Structure 1
Amino acid sequence: MAPKHPKARVEIAGKLSADRKERSRKLALLKKKRTELVKQTSKLQHEQTTDEIEGLEKEIVASPRGYNHVVKLLEHLKSPEKTTISAAATSLCRAFIKLMVKGELSKKKGATDAEVQILEWLRGQYGIFIGDLCGLLDYKDGGIQEEVLWLLMRLVKAESEHLTPPEEEAYFPHKLFRRIVEALVYAENLEDYLRIQFTEKYLDVYDDIRYSFFSAVKTLTQIALKTPSTLPQFTKTTITLILSLHNLPTSTTPPFTSFFALIPPSSTSPTNPRAILALTPHRKLLQTVLLHLLRLPTITPYTPSILQNITTLAPTFPNPETLMDFLTDTYATGGPTALLALSGLFYLIKTKNLDYQNFYQNLYALLDRNLLHLKYRSRFFRLLEEFLGSKYLPAALIASFLKRLARLALSAPPAAVVVIIPFVYNLLKAHPACWFMLHREGTTEELDRWRKDGVVDPFDPEEEDPLETGAIDSCLWELETLRGHWQPNVATLARILGEQFTKASYGLEDFLDHSYGSMFAAEMKKNVNSERPPVVEFEVPKRIFFEVEREGGNEDLSEAAANPLLSLWEF
């Protein structure tokens, strides 16, 4: 029965609270001891496992009787503990390298059937080990992935040194390296920094590694085409790796001297160099690989990246004209990639003297009113400045581009117009033969005809060939119109075309990044003259258009008042 006195109740409640706190403290202490015990047990088990792994490694190397321990170490690679996986992988790598050094993985002359059988079994276990290591590149831990990649490259080095066939002086284990490349390409959990590290430490440094990489990609491309489900991942990773390379061979590359594998001096004889040692086979292989990749059905998302790097890739091609089909097909798709494709074509025309007759016609076709509203407008004007930079282009061609730009400026946003005006200035400055388009004085007969029938612009905006538009017979009246533009900055800038051309040229970069946002920000920074404040409307109207009452029988006003559209503008 509960006590009735309040003081007694308080004492009992306090005692119960103290008991609960004591139990909680003891429980927390017990959990802490249990955690420490688990850690100590885990540490002890790890030490025991590590000691066991090292012991098995020694027995494997010591005698053929210990070869069966390879199976036990392979089982440790499937352990849930990262430390166990790391220890087992390292021990197996050391063991197999020591066996290579002793010649236990090489076929010996006069070997008995039993020895041959042991050798084949041991090679089979070595193959399983390589497969497990490649699988660990997809392990969900960056530390394990990095260690495994290092072990695999160590095995590449060991094979090239100790498993060289008797008939070869210089040997590179292409088969092993292809398995590594395949694992790197398809590993979905591989950390991005490891692919970058692989490129920086191996592909960009060693010539034999780079050659074997392209050879592996060539083979893997053929395999991927037979399994379409793997193509997206294969395309993404392979293109990323290739575009990250900075040391691609070109015609000016000096003789190869950097090799990851051991290359005997006698194998570098210039009379009959092996493909892996010579420059021309490297370039041919790279060209073949890239052309195969460009034909993949999954290449489209990566086409812009490839086109942006075309000036890096094209010099590696022994036959750069093989890129023409890819570039022309890409241009046909339209949009931003068409512009990049033209940039690649222009590079080949300029540096490789290749002929592309419709280049300027295709460039002219890209100039439409949509272009001036798109986000890649700045890139287009940068390239257009380069494309039209030659002083040997026909005046009729330049006139067509001037006229098309001037016509587009009439309906372009202000940010685009402020690019067009200095661009036209620079183009006129570079091509004085077109200056007359700014101020064309007609003959007496022409003036009489214009007064009588009006002026007809001879420029044909629908003509696709820039040499046939008739722009050379026209004038840039559109630029005069811009002097009355509603945007004061545009109107001010347009006046430079009516003054003497004393400035050599305008830096186009100063005008490319303008937008409505930047113009608004510039206006907001201006100091308003307090003595002449801007005119404002103090009463907010309810309509944009107002009905006009009929006055004096004015029929025009009455029609305006009766306009039914007025009702649509009520707020």
Structure 2
Amino acid sequence: MMMKKKKSTKKEQLSLGDLKTLGEQLLSSRSHINNLPRLLDFLKDPDPAYALESLLSLQSFFTPLLPDLSSADTVSSSDADAAAQFVYLTWLRSKFHDFLHSLFSISTSALSDPALREVVLETIMEFVKVANAGSFHSSIYHRFLHTIVHSTLGVNDMLLELLVSKYFKYIDVRYFTYISLEKMVRTLEAEDTSDDKGATAESHNQSIPSMEVSIQKIYHLLSRIPPLEGSDKETNYEMWNSIGIFTRSTNKKNNDQLSYVKDKQQKSGLHDDKDFSAASVTKKMKLKFSKAWISFLRLPLPLDVYKEVLATLHQTVIPYLSNPIMLCDFLTRSYDIGGVVSVMALSSLYVLMTQHGLEYPNFYEKLYALLEPSIFMAKYRAKFFQLIDSCLKSPLLPAYLAASFCKKLSRLALSVPPSGALIIIALVHNLLRRHPSINFLVHQGCVDETAKETSGADNSGVDGIDGTNSANKKGIDHFDDEQSDPIKTNAMRSSLWEIDTLRHHYCPPVSRFVMSLENDLTIRAKTAEVAVKDFSSGSYATIFGEEIRRRVKQVPLAFYKAIPTSLFSESDFPGWSFDFNDKEPVAINDDNRAVNTSKEPKRQRLL
């Protein structure tokens, strides 16, 4: 304790000018090499001014020595000098590693000064640029990314934003970022496997939060790397290090990384290199991109990351993979989960099926199972219904399958909001136009077969209670709404009576849209399919907005030529007449029998 107090006292007594003098002495002569440990101690000082001054001195000292520190052999005149030089360089390497460790700690600490963290990031990336004998130092960069991923920093920390905005525009930084992230993903995957096999439940629960945070940061870095745009023609790629990495020779120490050209080239000279072509760059970048993403998707992704990945996979990942079919296992597993996850996986799965030849035998059965009332309130419902419309567009679709989707959607129209009913009408309209073989569902009546047989045996023609003949009584609907297999729903024996009920819907846009459906089906030459995207993102607010913008020619007004004597007219209640006295109200039926309504009036109906 006493030694620590003396040490802190010395720091307090030392001014910034004295600290600057220590750095100047270190740079001027090797005899002041003992100032190096003192400057390393000041780098951890809580005062950012002391830490910054120490950082600048240490950076100026180590930068010219980095080629000697990276070389394995030391040339000297005698064996004694060689041994002394070897010991000296070994000691400097250890101090340089301590320096890097301190820089990593400062950069990943949320308590550090933001300006100091920005200078530290620039220092680390400068060492990455020149520390490997003038080549890109992938080892330092990997250690830096590893520290970021396994630190307590949040996903939206300023360090990650600075790294992305300043350095991800360089193609060599992107290249080695893919390599480093793939290595870290494999490490996390091994840790997760070991936890599942041998760890106790308590230790496994303790390791989950840290792994989830690491996965979120890995995804943040992966998703923020810009894709290789214009790779077929553009060859003027901007690189952080001036020495090219895309060469034919490979590094013996690491087969995953390409070796560097030892002679420095200017950026303008890279265009004359035959190896640095657009095709070679695209091929190698796609290979690293694919390995990093495929490895990442094997991890146990948190639910929020899982949904975000599925929402953007078809736009940000699939077009840049070397072989998109590699995603089929991940997407089919996601599609089989059900619910919102299946809805979000549908976009990428549809791209693989239509553009990359993926065969999915149970695709339409899974798609049919996704049609539930909750889907009309989902966040990604707009894209989902557009995909359903695209998936059911093929004229080679069997009639029973088209009829099952028509009937399922029609049944959902009875329980969804008005915006959902508009989508359903649009989808059913397109299905009926594309598949004329199921148009009989529009006019097919549901007649009870047992009732018809009974009426045929009995010719008495006795009227029912409602005054209709029992032979014309409507029967049951043979459609099985709870059946998950579209083949077994009996949709071909049913009709679209649910759509007909929407003619009297309380929402005017729904009733108007249904009324136009029959006209579109009769005059097919003059009408076209409905754009589902115009209705897929609808809500109560959009419907209300459309209604208040409509120009109404006839407006219902509460206007009476004579003062009404009752709340309801006699025509609203057939069989009843109302006579009001000053004492008590009396209702008189058609038989002129007065009914006392003072206590509990009861309606009497004449049969």
Evaluate the alpha carbon distance shift between residue 482 and residue 180 of structure 1 in structure 2; reply closer, same or farther with a 3 A threshold: same
Task: Please give the alpha-carbon distance, in whole angstroms, between the structure 2 residues aligned to 1:90 and 1:224.
Answer: 36
Tell me the SS of whatever aligns to 2:131.
helix
1:493-504 mapped onto 2 (5 Å cutoff): 493-499=513-519, 500-501=523-524, 502-504=526-528
Evaluate the alpha carbon distance shift between residue 435 and residue 197 of structure 1 in structure 2; reply closer, same or farther with a 3 A threshold: farther
1:305-324 mapped onto 2 (5 Å cutoff): 305-311=308-314, 312-324=316-328
Task: Please give the alpha-carbon distance, in whole angstroms, between the structure 1 residues aligned to 2:472 and 2:337.
Answer: 47
Task: Please give the alpha-carbon distance, in whole angstroms, between the structure 1 residues aligned to 2:551 and 2:384.
Answer: 35
Is the Cα contact below 8 Å between 2:446 and 2:475 reproduced in 1? no
How far 1:100 sits from its partner (Å)?
A: 2.3
| Counterpart for residue 238 of structure 1 | 218
Evaluate the alpha carbon distance shift between residue 223 and residue 253 of structure 1 in structure 2; reply closer, same or farther with a 3 A threshold: farther
Is the Cα contact below 8 Å between 2:331 and 2:348 reproduced in 1? yes
CA RMSD of aligned residues (A): 4.3
| Counterpart for residue 99 of structure 1 | 65
Deviation string, structure 1 residues 470-496 (Cα, Å, up to 9, x no partner):
434543232122112233322121101
Is the Cα contact below 8 Å between 1:458 and 1:473 reproduced in 2? yes
| Counterpart for residue 286 of structure 1 | 289
Task: Please give the alpha-carbon distance, in whole angstroms, between the structure 1 residues aligned to 2:403 and 2:285.
Answer: 46
1:109-508 mapped onto 2 (5 Å cutoff): 109-110=75-76, 112-137=82-107, 138-140=109-111, 141-162=113-134, 171-185=135-149, 186-188=151-153, 192-203=157-168, 205-224=169-188, 226=191, 228-247=208-227, 257-263=237-243, 268-269=247-248, 275-277=256-258, 279-280=282-283, 282-311=285-314, 312-440=316-444, 451=471, 454-499=474-519, 500-501=523-524, 502-508=526-532
Task: Please give the alpha-carbon distance, in whole angstroms, between the structure 2 residues aligned to 1:427 and 1:247.
Answer: 38
How far 1:458 sits from its partner (Å)?
A: 4.5
Is the Cα contact below 8 Å between 1:105 and 1:119 reproduced in 2? no
Question: Could you tell me which amino acid in structure 2 is paired with residue 66 of structure 1?
Answer: H
| Counterpart for residue 20 of structure 1 | none
Is the Cα contact below 8 Å between 2:70 and 2:133 reproduced in 1? no
Task: Please give the alpha-carbon distance, in whole angstroms, between the structure 2 residues aligned to 1:489 and 1:538.
Answer: 35
| Counterpart for residue 75 of structure 1 | 41
Tell me the SS of whatever aligns to 2:100.
helix
Once the two structures are overlaid, the 10-residue window that deviates more, 494-503 or 464-473, is 464-473
Evaluate the alpha carbon distance shift between residue 409 and residue 56 of structure 1 in structure 2; reply closer, same or farther with a 3 A threshold: same
TM-score (norm 2): 0.70
More helix by share: 1
| Counterpart for residue 545 of structure 1 | none
Which residue of 511, 519, 533 maps to 2:558? 533
Task: Please give the alpha-carbon distance, in whole angstroms, between the structure 2 residues aligned to 1:255 and 1:473.
Answer: 63
Evaluate the alpha carbon distance shift between residue 472 and residue 250 of structure 1 in structure 2; reply closer, same or farther with a 3 A threshold: farther
Q: Percent identity?
A: 29
Question: Could you tell me which amino acid in structure 1 is paired with residue 325 of structure 2?
Answer: E
Structure 2 residue runs of 5 or longer lacking an equivalent are 1-10, 192-206, 259-279, 456-470, 568-585, 603-607
Task: Please give the alpha-carbon distance, in whole angstroms, between the structure 1 residues aligned to 2:487 and 2:350.
Answer: 19
Deviation string, structure 1 residues 305-339 (Cα, Å, up to 9, x no partner):
11112122123433433322222222333221111
How far 1:177 sits from its partner (Å)?
A: 0.4
TM-score (norm 1): 0.74
Evaluate the alpha carbon distance shift between residue 467 and residue 270 of structure 1 in structure 2; reply closer, same or farther with a 3 A threshold: farther
Tell me the SS of whatever aligns to 2:337.
coil
Once the two structures are overlaid, the 10-residue window that deviates more, 242-251 or 83-92, is 242-251
Task: Please give the alpha-carbon distance, in whole angstroms, between the structure 1 residues aligned to 2:156 and 2:507.
Answer: 51
Evaluate the alpha carbon distance shift between residue 539 and residue 323 of structure 1 in structure 2; reply closer, same or farther with a 3 A threshold: farther
Task: Please give the alpha-carbon distance, in whole angstroms, between the structure 2 residues aligned to 1:335 and 1:158.
Answer: 51
Is the Cα contact below 8 Å between 2:174 and 2:225 reproduced in 1? no
Task: Please give the alpha-carbon distance, in whole angstroms, between the structure 2 residues aligned to 1:250 and 1:291.
Answer: 23
Evaluate the alpha carbon distance shift between residue 172 and residue 509 of structure 1 in structure 2; reply closer, same or farther with a 3 A threshold: same
| Counterpart for residue 514 of structure 1 | 538
Is the Cα contact below 8 Å between 2:103 and 2:124 reproduced in 1? yes
Once the two structures are overlaid, the 10-residue window that deviates more, 511-520 or 64-73, is 511-520
Task: Please give the alpha-carbon distance, in whole angstroms, between the structure 2 residues aligned to 1:115 and 1:272.
Answer: 28
Task: Please give the alpha-carbon distance, in whole angstroms, between the structure 2 residues aligned to 1:252 and 1:299.
Answer: 36
Evaluate the alpha carbon distance shift between residue 323 and residue 436 of structure 1 in structure 2; reply closer, same or farther with a 3 A threshold: same
Task: Please give the alpha-carbon distance, in whole angstroms, between the structure 1 residues aligned to 2:63 and 2:341.
Answer: 50
Q: Give the number of aligned pairs.
A: 497
Once the two structures are overlaid, the 10-residue window that deviates more, 393-402 or 188-197, is 188-197
Tell me the SS of whatever aligns to 1:172.
coil
| Counterpart for residue 41 of structure 1 | none
